[in-house]
């Protein structure tokens, strides 16, 4: 561990490498977390299957590339479309029945869903780790000390474009306005003639589509595996809890920060503690929020 | 919610007697299934201890399995550490043949179990300090985080064997005796847990934690020391889970962090599902739920190999979405008189309205 830290100090260029890697994956974490925050804020459903949606999107892009020869970048919109339909179906079958029940219900129901998705993926594609090959060049910076694949830049740009599109959609389009209205007050929205049931279905499907896109990007720049879903779900929860609901800049910052923290921890403590970093950060963020709240409570008293 | 103490009042003697005879006879009549029956008792213990928080106190923990794993590892360390150097033992990972005499085995087991119980309860106090400020889903996710990170940390800790695990001292005796020994230990533990919790629920303590479930702010306003009650409730739960972990580890004979000691996404979630299936907040619900669930699990494991997890996930979804009141809740709704619940027509008319209001308030939160 100490060796790794001295290595970082002696070769500062390594920091650039780690930071860049962290930011590239962090941008995608932020994308998935934004979807989680959307569903959480609008319909008060905590989706523990979020990460499995991501992995599912990744497998769609990977499958298209492997068996149909479609480049993963073009597989991305396909993954989004498929996941949109899938999300809508899941909403109608499961989620519509857990809205309005107590808070724990949605957590457990989506956990069951996560179990089913990851196992079906495992049965269909096997437990091996997969990568969707994009075939782009790998660039070197700083005289070969830092390597960055072009696909990582492309995925960062794509993630930014996607996020921009979703935000513009929420701001300008009628459906986006309806979603925001429903989030503020479902009953008032209903009175104003908004079909809240449709808004909920659309929101959940939109979230699934965002996850699908994030998954396609992950499959290109990182790895996918049927059981990696839970880690992605926890990452999304960490980011949303740290940033708070409806705080887009916060989600982006927390996402990038988490990505960097995870890559750094993986380098310094070794790969076996990389998972722990994510979960440990979750606990740390919750505790920190709690201290904040208790201070707030004392002020109110 | 009704007081569960009144359930089966009339037939209680018959019921308990019948169950006792059945449990004592089970390992002799179905000798091949002794291991499965032992696991069933552990499952029942999981369910009733989870219900103490989830059902009676309204705190849905997803991380109770932490105490199970902690108990297992504490017991293992004590058992080995009494006579050998733990680091040397784990580094050799079973290659050095070590002998534990009969006397050493039982001393180690007893001391280890006691240490597991006490330290698990202490862990509950420490973690209670951290997580009890969290409410609702945050509590569930926070506890899930604690359990998951414990598994990961244990896997990286070389002193206690890391991801490779530890093999425990071998039982001095025949394999059949060993199975019976652990069967009766787990049976007595589950029975003791059941009656201790039953006793607790009927007293002041039960009323206090029920008040916390119904409205924590009001309970605190009425002068109930909510933090103290919550911590004590969790320690009780952890105490029994720690013992069960110690026994389960010794029964398996080999412990390992992710699959055996901290199986957060299997046993950790099963305990919640079992309570929901049986009906949470009732005394017999978790017991019934655990039995049904264990049977379902074994059947799917045997006949649907490869698809068992899909079946299990689907069961969780169906349970949560369509059958939230559980078996006992359903039975109580169907035959309320048998449970000493007096159904007043006027009250029954008013009942649904009240429920609706509560639900709306919960949705608004």
User: What's the pLDDT tens digit per position in B173-202?
Assistant: 888 888 889 999 999 999 999 999 999 998
Q: What is the mean pLDDT of residues A203-230?
A: 91
Strands in A150-300 per DSSP E = none
CATH for A2-300 (1.10.3470, 1.10.357, 3.40.50, 1.25.10): 1.10.3470
Given this model, what pLDDT does residue B45 score? 94
Most confident of A96-100, B2-6, B135-139: A96-100
Q: How far is it, in rounded angstroms, from Cα B283 to Cα A123? A: 39
CA distances from A118 to A51, A115, B309 (A): 10, 5, 9
Give the whole-number percent of chain B exceeding pLDDT 70: 87
CA B53 from chain centre, in angstroms, equals 10
Q: What is the mean pLDDT of residues B72-93?
A: 81
CB pair distance less than 8 Å for A280 and B149: yes
Given this model, what pLDDT does residue A266 score? 85
3-state secondary structure of A201: helix
With 60 as the cut, is the pLDDT of residue B30 above it? yes
Q: pLDDT tens, B310-365?
A: 888 888 888 888 887 788 888 887 777 776 666 555 544 444 444 444 444 444 43
CB pair distance less than 8 Å for A115 and B142: no
Q: Which of A97, A237, A276 sits opposite B141 (nearest CB)?
A: A237
Q: Which of B136, B272, B307 sits opposite A103 (nearest CB)?
A: B136
Given this model, what pLDDT does residue A297 score? 64
Q: Which of residues 201-230 of A touch B (CB under 8 A)?
A: 230
User: How many CB atoms neighbour CB B52 within 10 A?
Assistant: 25
In the numeric block, which tokens belong to residue B246?
A: 């110690």
Of the pLDDT bands very low, low, confident and very high (cuts 50, 70, 90), residue B220 is confident
The residues, ordered by sequence, that sit 6+ positions from A201 with a Cβ below 8 Å of its Cβ are A88, A91, A92, A96
Would you list the domain boundaries of chain A? 2-300
Rounded to the nearest integer, the mean pLDDT of chain A is 86
First to last CA, chain A: 46
Given this model, what pLDDT does residue B359 score? 44
Which residues make beta-bridge pairs with A139? A148
Are A212 and A60 contacting, i.e. CB atoms less than 8 angstroms apart? yes
Query: Who has greater pLDDT, B158 or A219?
Result: A219
Burial letters B149-177, b for 16+ CB under 10 A, else e: bbbbbbbbeeebbbeebbbbbebeeeeee
Q: Which residue of B has its CA nearest to A43?
A: B363
Q: Which of A269, A275, A184, A193 is nearest to A238 (CA)?
A: A275
Are B311 and B325 contacting, i.e. CB atoms less than 8 angstroms apart? no
Query: Who has greater pLDDT, B11 or A112?
Result: A112
Given this model, what pLDDT does residue A29 score? 93
3-state secondary structure of A148: strand
Per-residue H/E/C for B289-316: HHHHHHHHHHHHHHHCCCCHHHHHHHHH
User: Pairing between strand B166-167 and A138-141?
Assistant: unpaired
Q: Would you say how long chain B is, in residues?
A: 365
Are A18 and A267 contacting, i.e. CB atoms less than 8 angstroms apart? yes
Given this model, what pLDDT does residue B340 score? 65
Q: ipTM value, please give it.
A: 0.82
Residue in the block written with tokens 């078996």: B327
Nearest chain B CA: its distance from A36 CA (Å): 14
In the numeric block, which tokens belong to residue B169?
A: 């001292």
Which pTM does this prediction carry?
A: 0.83
Would you list the domain boundaries of chain B? 4-364
Are B86 and B160 contacting, i.e. CB atoms less than 8 angstroms apart? yes
Based on its alpha-carbon atoms, the radius of gyration of chain A, rounded to whole angstroms, reads: 20
A124 in reach of chain B (CB within 8 A): no
Of the pLDDT bands very low, low, confident and very high (cuts 50, 70, 90), residue B130 is confident
Q: pLDDT tens, B289-302?
A: 999 999 888 888 87
From chain B, pick out residues whose CB is under 8 angstroms from the CB of A105.
320-321, 324
From chain A, pick out residues whose CB is under 8 angstroms from the CB of B315.
112
| CATH topology classification for B4-364 | ABC transporter involved in vitamin B12 uptake, BtuC (1.10.3470)
Q: How far is it, in rounded angstroms, from Cα B231 to Cα B240? A: 15
């Amino acid at each position: 561990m100490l060796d790794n830290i001295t290595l970082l100090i002696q070769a500062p260029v390594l920091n650039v490498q780690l930071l860049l890697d962290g930011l590239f994956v962090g941008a995608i974490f932020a994308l998935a977390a934004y979807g989680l925050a959307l569903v959480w804020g609008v319909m008060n459903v905590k989706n523990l299957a979020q990460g499995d949606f991501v992995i599912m999107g990744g497998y769609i892009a990977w499958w298209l590339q492997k068996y149909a020869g479609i480049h993963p970048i073009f597989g991305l919109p396909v993954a989004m479309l498929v996941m949109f339909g899938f999300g809508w179906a899941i909403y109608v079958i499961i989620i519509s029945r857990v809205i309005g029940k107590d808070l724990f219900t949605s957590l457990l129901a989506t956990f069951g869903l996560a179990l089913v998705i990851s196992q079906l993926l495992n049965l269909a594609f096997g437990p091996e780790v997969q990568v969707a090959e994009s075939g782009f060049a790998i660039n070197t910076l700083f005289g070969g000390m830092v390597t960055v694949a072009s696909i990582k830049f492309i995925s960062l740009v794509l993630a930014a474009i996607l996020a921009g599109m979703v935000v513009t959609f929420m701001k300008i389009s009628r459906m986006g306005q309806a979603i925001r209205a429903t989030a503020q007050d479902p009953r008032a929205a209903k009175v104003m003639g908004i079909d809240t049931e449709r808004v909920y279905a659309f929101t959940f499907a939109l979230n699934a589509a965002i996850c699908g896109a994030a998954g396609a990007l992950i499959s290109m720049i990182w790895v996918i595996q049927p059981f990696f879903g839970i880690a992605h779900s926890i990452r999304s929860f960490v980011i949303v809890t740290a940033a708070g609901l409806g705080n887009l800049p916060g989600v982006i910052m927390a996402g990038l920060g988490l990505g960097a923290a995870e890559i750094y921890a993986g380098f310094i403590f070794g790969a076996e503690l990389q998972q722990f970093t994510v979960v440990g950060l979750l606990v740390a963020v919750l505790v920190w929020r709690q201290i904040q709240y208790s201070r707030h409570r004392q002020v109110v008293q | 919610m009704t007081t569960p103490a009144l359930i089966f009042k009339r037939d209680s003697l018959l019921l308990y007697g019948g169950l006792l005879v059945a449990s004592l006879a089970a390992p002799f009549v179905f000798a091949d299934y002794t291991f499965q029956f032992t696991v069933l008792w552990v499952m029942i213990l999981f369910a009733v201890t989870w219900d103490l928080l989830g059902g009676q106190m309204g705190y849905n923990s997803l991380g109770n399995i932490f105490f199970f794993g902690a108990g297992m590892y504490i017991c293992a360390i004590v058992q080995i550490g009494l006579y050998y150097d733990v680091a040397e033992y784990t580094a050799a990972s079973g290659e050095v043949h070590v002998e534990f005499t009969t006397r050493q085995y039982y001393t180690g087991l007893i001391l280890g179990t006691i240490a597991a119980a006490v330290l698990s309860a202490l862990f509950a106090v420490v973690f209670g300090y951290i997580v009890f400020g969290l409410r609702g889903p945050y509590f569930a996710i926070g506890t899930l985080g604690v359990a998951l990170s414990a598994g990961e940390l244990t896997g990286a800790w070389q002193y206690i064997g890391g991801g490779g695990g530890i093999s425990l001292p071998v039982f001095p005796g025949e394999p059949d005796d060993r199975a019976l020994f652990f069967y009766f230990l787990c049976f007595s533990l589950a029975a003791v847990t059941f009656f201790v919790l039953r006793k607790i629920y009927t007293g002041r303590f039960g009323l206090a934690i029920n008040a916390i479930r119904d409205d924590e702010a009001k309970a605190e306003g009425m002068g109930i020391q909510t933090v103290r009650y919550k911590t004590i409730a969790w320690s009780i739960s952890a105490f029994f889970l720690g013992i069960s972990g110690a026994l389960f580890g010794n029964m398996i004979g080999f412990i390992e962090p992710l699959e055996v000691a901290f199986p957060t996404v299997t046993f950790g979630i099963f305990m919640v599902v079992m309570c929901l299936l049986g009906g949470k907040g009732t005394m017999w619900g978790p017991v019934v739920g655990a039995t049904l669930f264990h049977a379902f699990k074994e059947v799917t494991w045997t006949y649907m190999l490869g698809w068992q997890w899909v079946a299990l996930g689907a069961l969780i979804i169906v349970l949560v979405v369509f059958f939230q009141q559980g078996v006992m809740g359903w039975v109580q709704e169907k035959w309320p008189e048998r449970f000493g619940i007096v159904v007043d027509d006027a009250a029954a008319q008013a009942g649904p309205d009240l429920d609706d209001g509560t639900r709306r308030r919960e949705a608004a939160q």
